[in-house]
Chain A
Amino acid sequence: MSNSHAFIKFGEIADFRNGLNFDKESHGKGCLLIGVADFQKHFTPSYESLEEINPDGVSREEDYIKKNDLIFVRSNGNKSLVGRSLFIDRDIRALYSGFCIRARLKNDVINPLFLAYYTKTNHFKASISYAAGTNINNLSQGILSEVNVPHYSKESQLAITNVLSAIDQKIELNNRINAELEAMAKTLYDYWFVQFDFPFDFAQGKPAANGKPYKSSGGKMVYNPILKREIPVGWNATSLWDIAKYYNGLAMQKHRPTNDKFLPVIKIREMNDGFSDSTEKASINIPKEAVVNDGDVLFSWSATLDVKIWSQGPGALNQHIFKVTSDKYPKSFYYFELLNYLNHFKMMAELRKTTMGHITLDHLKQAKISLPSLELLEQAAQFIEPIFNKHLMLEKENRTLSTIRDWLLPMLMNGQITVQSATTD
C-alpha cells in the first residue's frame, strides 16, 4: 500500500552539534537558552518563556542557533522525551543546553519545514530506535546521522508542508483571535463594573445601551461600609459565595471505568494543557454534576489557583477544582469576578501555605464584591456571551484541526497519501 519512495540519511543532509554545558558561573542574563524543559509538545519554542544565561567565556559563534535549525532532546531521565524536536522558525540569538543536539541543514535536498514535520512522526522515533537499538537513553550525533529521512522531490515536500502548515497557521491564528476576544471582553467588563462607567441614560435615570459612562459623567456614588469603597447608588454588596454555586470535583480514582466507555479526568494539568495520552479515565456513571462540558467555568482552588472557561470537550471533574454555575446570574458576571479576585486568592493561599497553598469556602464567603442590577448584568452579557461562544467555537475548531493534522501527518510522510500538485491538476 505504501508508495515506494527513497530515503536519505540524516547525516547526508545535516551537520550536528551538541549544546553547551553551563555551570554556576554562567547564572545570569545575556542570552536566551533552550533547555529540555522548553520542548514539551511544542512545534517551535515559545520564545517569550525561555530562560536566560550569561554566555561570557563559554559560547562560540557557531554555538548559536539560526533560523531553520532543529533542536533535539539528547538526554533526559524521562526516556520518552529523548528525540523530541523543536523547529527554529525565526532569526533569534539563542543557545541550547548540553542535553540537546542541533541539526543544521548543509544542503537544500530537504525542505527544513518538511524535516521538522517529519521529526514529529512515530516513523522518526522508530528510526532512532532502529539506528540505536531499542530502548535508548541518549541520542547521539552518530544515531541521528543514521536516521532515514523520506526523500521526495522538492515539489512534493513543499506540497506536503503546505497542507500541514495551512492547518497550523489556522490554529495559531485562532489562538490570536481568542486572545483578542478575551482582552476585549475583559476591557468592557472592567470598564462597566470595576470602574463603574457603564452606559447610563441620565434623563431616564436608568442604564441604557446608548447612555453616558456613569461615574465619569457624574453618576451618584455612595460609600459602602462592607466593601469599604464607593459604589453606584442602588448597587449592593454581596460575596462570590452568594452569586454562584460551587461544586467540588470527586476523587476519580474511586470512579474508574468498568467498561471501555469513559470520561477523561480533568485535573489541574488538564485545565492548563488539555487532555493528553496520560490523562486518567473515569466511569461515565459519575453524578451528572461532576461532568464538565464546554463552556463550564472551572476554578482550581488548591496548589495552582486558576479560573478557566473549559473548552476541551466532556470530562470528569477531579477534586480540588470547583465547577461554578448559577441559575440567576450570567456567566460573564461570576467568571470575571472570580478572575479579578484570583490574585488576591493566590496571596491568601500563599499565606496559608504549610506545604500546599489552598483557599477555603470561607475565603469565598469573605470575598466581598459589588452587585449591580440584574438588568445591567444581562445587558453586558449580551455583548460578552457571543464572545465566549466564539471563543469556544474556535477552540473546538482547533481541536478538530489538530486531530486532522496528526492523522494526516504520518500518511503524508510515508506516501500513503499524496498531494496532487497544481501542475498535474
Chain B
Amino acid sequence: MVELEFQQKTKSLIDSLKSICANYGLGNDGNEFKIITQTFLYKFLNDKFAFEAKKIDPTLAQADKWEEALAKLSADDLEMLQLQLGPDTARLKPSHFINYLFSQQNAPDFAKLFDDTLMDIAISNNDVFAVKTDGGAKVVLFDRLSNYIADDSKRDEFCRALINKLVEFSFERIFNQKFDFYATIFEYLIKDYNSNSGGKYAEYYTPHAVARIMAAILVPEDQRGIVKNVSVYDPSAGSGTLLMNVAHAIGENRCTIYTQDISQKSSNLLRLNLILNNLVHSIPNVVQGNTLLHPSHKDGSELKRFDYIVSNPPFKMDFSDFRDDLDTKANKERFFAGIPKIKAKATDKMEIYQLFLQHIIYSLKSGGKAAVVVPTGFITAQSGIDKGIREHLVNKQMLAGVVSMPSNIFATTGTNVSILFIDTLNLGKVVLIDASNLGEKIKDGKNQKTVLTAAEEQRIIDVFNGEQQQDDFSVVVSYRDIAAKNYSLSAGQYFDVKIEYVDITPEQFASKMQAFSDNLDSLFSQSRELEVEIKKQLAGLKYE
C-alpha cells in the first residue's frame, strides 16, 4: 500500500510541475521537458541527501528540521558527513536545500538565486553527474531553468511556484523501493516527451515485454547473484530501458553501464534513469555522440570490449553524410561484412542496423553475450551484408538463438522484428523461436498493437533457456543445420512440414466417391434441362 501511495504522490507531483509549466505558457514547448526532469531531479537529489545524511548522523534524523540542524554543523563536521556519503549521493551544501530556497522565496531576484543554486549543485558534483560528449565536452546536470521563461518579469513568480510544489512531500521513504517502482515513475515522467515525432532520430521506446525477455535470456535466473564486476553496453541507448532491465537482472551494484547515443535528449533521460535506479556510478560512462563514427569507449587505443551488450538500434536511417567516412582501413575489421551503400533514390532507407550489429559483434569480449533487436528480414535475407553477418555468427560459433516477435509489437512501426541473441561461448545448440503467432491485438490510438501476455512471455523465456522443441513454435538446431539451410535463422524453415490430412477407411472413400457421383448425376441432369430451357428462351427472342 505504501508503494501505491507514494507512486500516486510522486505522479501528482509530476503532474503539478507540468501544470505550472502549462500556466506559464510552456506547454508542449521543447524546454518543458528540461524543466520537469531537472526540477524533479533536484527534488530527488535533495531528499536522497537527507535520507543518506540521516542514516549517518542520527541526531539529524531526530531533529525537528534536519536542514537547520545540518546548517548548524561546524565546517569540519559537515565535511566529515560529506565524506561518509556514498558516491551515489550528490554533495549538497545547506544553501542548496529546497527548504532554504523555500525560505528565500520572497527575496528580490529569486529566479537568479534558484538558477544559481542549481548551477552550483551541478558544478560541485560535476565529476560524478556530468555526461560527456564524444568531443569531450561535459553536459552538466542542470540548466538555468528560469531562462526558458521569455518574460523576465515572470521568472521569480515561476520559480516560486516550482519551489512551493517541491516542499510539499518528502521522497525520503521511497528510497527503499524496488526496480519496478522507479521504472513506473520514470515512464510517467517522460511519457509526454518520448514520442516518435522526433523526425530523423526517432527515439522508439522499447516495449517492456521485449526488454524483459532480453534480460531473462541474457541473464538466466541461475546466474543471478553469481555474475559480478561485468560491463554492460548499449551503443544506441535511448532512454535506457534495455540497460535498466539487464542491470537489474545482474544486480545494480554488480555491473557498470556504458552507453553512447547521438541524441542529447536521450542522454539526459538516460542520466535521470540511472540516478533513479542506483546506477549513479555509471553516469561518467554515458556519452552523447555518434557511435558509428566516433565510438568513445576505449581501452587504450583499442575499442573497449564488453561482457554484455543490449541494443534496439535504429533500423533505417539516412547516414549518407558520413557513410564514406566510415569506409576506412581502420574500420575494415569492425564492419567486417561491409557498409551499406548510399541508396540514390531513398537515402533515408539505408540499413543502419547492419552497422550497429557489426559494431556490437566487434565490441563483445570473448565470453560475452548480446541481445539485439533486428528487423525480421535480417534473419533470412539471402544476400548482402545481412547474410555476411549471419555467416560470421554461425562460422565463428557465437549464436545463442533468435526469437521472432509478433507483428506490431512496437506500436510505432509496422516492421516485424526479431531478437537476436549472441553468445560467444555457445558451441552447441541454437534455439530458434517463432513467436509471431502469440499475443493479443489491441488498439493503441490509431495503431494496431500486439501485447504479449505474462504467460506467453514466460513461455518464450522458458523454451529458450530450457532449449525446448515445441511444435510450430521452436526448434533446437546445430550450427551445421543452419549452414545447410543457407544460414537462415527463421524457425519456420526448420519446422517439419505438415500436410494436414486425416486418413479415411476404404469404406469411407467408397461412400464419399459415391456421394460425389450421385450429386453429379443430379447436377448433370439439371444441367441438361437448363440447356434445353436456355435454347428455348433464346429461340423466343425477336429483334425489332
Using a CB–CB distance below 8 Å, which chain A residues touch chain B?
1, 3, 159, 162-163, 166-167, 169-170, 173-174, 176-177, 180-181, 183-184, 187-188, 190-191, 194-195, 197, 213, 216, 228, 340-341, 343-344, 347-348, 350-355, 360, 362, 366-368, 401, 404, 408, 411, 415-421
Q: B234 CB to closest chain A CB, in angstroms?
A: 24
Residue from A195, A347, A351, A416 in contact with B504 in the complex, judged by beta carbons closer than 8 Å: A195
Q: How far is the CA of A421 from the CA of B414 in the complex (A)?
A: 63
**Are A417 and B541 in touch, CB under 8 angstroms?**
yes
Is A418 within 8 A of B541, CB to CB? yes
- Assuming A173-B523, A177-B523, A187-B516, is B542 touching A417 (CB within 8 A)? yes
Closest 8 pairs (CB-CB, A-B): A354-B377, A351-B492, A184-B516, A163-B537, A170-B530, A420-B540, A177-B523, A166-B533
Q: How far is the CB of B398 from chain A (nearest CB, A)?
A: 23
Do residues B416 and A353 form an inter-chain contact, with CB atoms below 8 A? yes
- Nearest-neighbor residue (CB-CB) of B505 within chain A: A216
Of A3, A181, A188, A341, the contact of B499 (CB 8 Å cutoff): A341
Which residues of A sit under 8 angstroms from B526, Cβ to Cβ?
173
Q: Which of B521-544 contact A (CB under 8 A)?
A: 523-524, 526-527, 530-531, 533-534, 537-538, 540-544
Partner of B541, one of A163, A173, A177: A163
In the assembly, what is the distance between CA of A411 and CA of B509, in Å? 50
Judge whether B541 and A352 touch: CB under 8 Å: no
User: Distance (Å) between the CB of A366 and the closest chain B CB?
Assistant: 8
Q: Tell me, yes or no, whether B444 is within 8 Å of chain A by CB.
A: no
Q: Are A177 and B486 in contact (CB under 8 A)?
A: no
**24 A-B pairs (CB sep. < 8 Å):** A170-B527, A170-B530, A173-B526, A173-B530, A177-B524, A177-B527, A180-B519, A180-B520, A180-B523, A183-B516, A194-B501, A197-B506, A213-B506, A216-B506, A340-B499, A343-B500, A347-B492, A351-B404, A351-B490, A352-B380, A401-B534, A417-B541, A417-B542, A418-B544
Q: With A and B bound together, what is the CA distance between A284 and B432 in angstroms?
A: 49
B residues less than 8 Å from A170 (CB atoms) = 527, 530-531, 534
Report B347-386 residues with CB < 8 Å from chain A CB: 375-377, 380, 382
Known: A166-B534, A183-B516, A343-B500. A351 touches B436 (CB 8 A): yes
Are A187 and B512 in contact, CB atoms less than 8 angstroms apart? yes
Which residue of B375, B377, B501, B544 is within 8 Å of A190 (Cβ)?
A: B501
Chain A nearest CB: distance from B517 CB in Å?
8
By the criterion CB–CB under 8 Å, are B516 and A180 in contact? Answer: yes
Whether A344 pairs with B497 at a CB distance below 8 angstroms is: yes
B302 at interface, CB cutoff 8 A: no
Cβ of A384 to closest chain B Cβ, rounded Å: 13
In the bound complex, do residue A354 and residue B415 qualify as a contact, i.e. CB atoms below 8 Å apart?
Answer: yes
Q: Do most interface residues of chain A lie in helix, strand or loop, or is the interface mixed?
A: helix
Contact between A416 and B544 (Cβ–Cβ < 8 Å)? yes
B493 near A: Cβ within 8 Å? yes
Q: What is the bound-complex CA distance between A197 and B501, given in angstroms?
A: 13
Nearest-neighbor residue (CB-CB) of B499 within chain A: A340
In the docked arrangement, what's the CA distance between A354 and B407, Å? 9
A170 and B415 CA atoms in complex are apart in Å by 48
Shortest CB–CB separation between residue B150 and chain A, in angstroms?
43
> A170 CA to B523 CA in the complex, in Å?
10
Which residues of the partner chain B approach A355 to less than 8 Å between Cβ atoms? 414-415
B498, B503, B527, B540: the one contacting A344 at CB < 8 Å is B498
CB pair A417 B530 closer than 8 Å: no
Interface residues of B in 475-516 (CB under 8 A from A): 485-486, 490-493, 496-501, 503-506, 509, 512-513, 516
Q: Does B423 touch A at the CB level, under 8 Å? A: no
- Which of A341, A366, A401, A415 has the largest count of B CB atoms less than 10 A from its CB? A366
The answer for the CA separation of A368 and B534 in the assembled complex, in Å, is 49
Asked whether A419 lies within 8 Å of B493 as measured between CB atoms, the reply is no
Contact A420/B492 with A177-B523, A187-B516, A197-B509 known, Cβ cut-off 8 Å: no
Q: Does B156 contact A (CB under 8 A)?
A: no
Interchain CA distance A350-B485 in the complex, whole Å: 18
Chain A: minimal CB distance from B473 (Å):
12
Query: Are B537 and A1 in contact, CB atoms less than 8 angstroms apart?
Result: no
Contacts A187-B516, A418-B542, A418-B544; A367 near B416 (Cβ below 8 A): no
B376 engages A1 (CB within 8 Å): no
Contact yes or no, B541 A408, CB < 8 A: yes
Residues of B within 8 A of A190 (CB): 501
Nearest A residue to B516, CB-CB: A184
List 16 extra interface pairs beyond A187-B509, A197-B509, A352-B377, CB under 8 A. Answer: A3-B544, A162-B537, A166-B537, A167-B534, A177-B520, A183-B516, A184-B520, A187-B516, A190-B501, A213-B509, A341-B499, A348-B493, A351-B493, A366-B485, A418-B544, A420-B542
Determine the residue in chain A with the shortest Cβ distance to B414.
A355
- Tell me which residues across on chain A come within 8 A of B533, comparing CB atoms: 166
Closest Cβ neighbor of B534 among chain A residues: A166
Q: Is B434 close to A, CB under 8 A?
A: yes
A216 CA to B517 CA, complexed, in Å: 24
Q: Is B537 within 8 A of A348, CB to CB?
A: no
Are A163 and B538 closer than 8 Å at their CB atoms? Answer: yes
Cα(A351)–Cα(B504), bound, Å: 32
Residues of A within 8 A of B498 (CB): 344
Residues of A within 8 A of B519 (CB): 180
Which interface residue of A162, A194, A351 has the most chain B CB atoms within 10 A? A351
CA A411 to CA B541, docked complex, whole Å: 11
Report the minimum CB–CB distance from B543 to chain A (whole Å): 6
Looking at the assembled complex, report how far the CB atom of A130 sits from the nearest CB atom of chain B, in whole angstroms: 24
**How far is it, in angstroms, between the C-alpha of A418 and the C-alpha of B543 when the chains are bound?**
7
Contact indicator A417/B543 (Cβ below 8 Å)? yes
Residue of A whose beta carbon sits closest to that of B535: A166
Interface centre among A1, A348, A360 (most CB of B within 10 A): A348
Establish whether residues B527 and A173, one from each chain, have CB atoms under 8 Å apart when the complex forms: yes
What is the distance, in angstroms, from B330's C-beta to the closest C-beta of chain A? 32
Chain A's nearest CB lies how many Å from the CB of B279? 36
B495 to chain A, nearest CB (A): 8
Q: Does A194 lie within 8 Å of B499, measured CB to CB?
A: yes
Chain B, residue nearest A192 (CB) = B509
B117 CB to closest chain A CB, in angstroms?
52
Residue of B nearest to A339 (CB): B499
Residue from A166, A366, A416 with most neighbouring chain B CB atoms (10 Å): A166
A1 vs B544: C-alpha distance when bound (angstroms):
7
Residue of chain A at shortest CB distance from B508: A191
- Shortest C-beta distance, B343 to chain A (Å), equals 16
Question: A residues within 8 A CB of B504?
Answer: 191, 195
B520 touches A181 (CB 8 A): yes
* Residue in A162, A181, A348, A416 whose CB lies within 8 Å of B543: A416
Q: Report the minimum CB–CB distance from B509 to chain A (whole Å).
A: 5
Closest chain B CB from A271 CB (angstroms) = 23
Bound complex: CA of A353 vs CA of B542, how far in Å? 58
A416 to B543: give the CA distance in the assembly, Å.
Answer: 6
Contact status B523-A191, CB under 8 Å: no
Query: Which residues of A lie under 8 Å from residue B509 when comparing CB positions?
Result: 187, 191, 197, 213
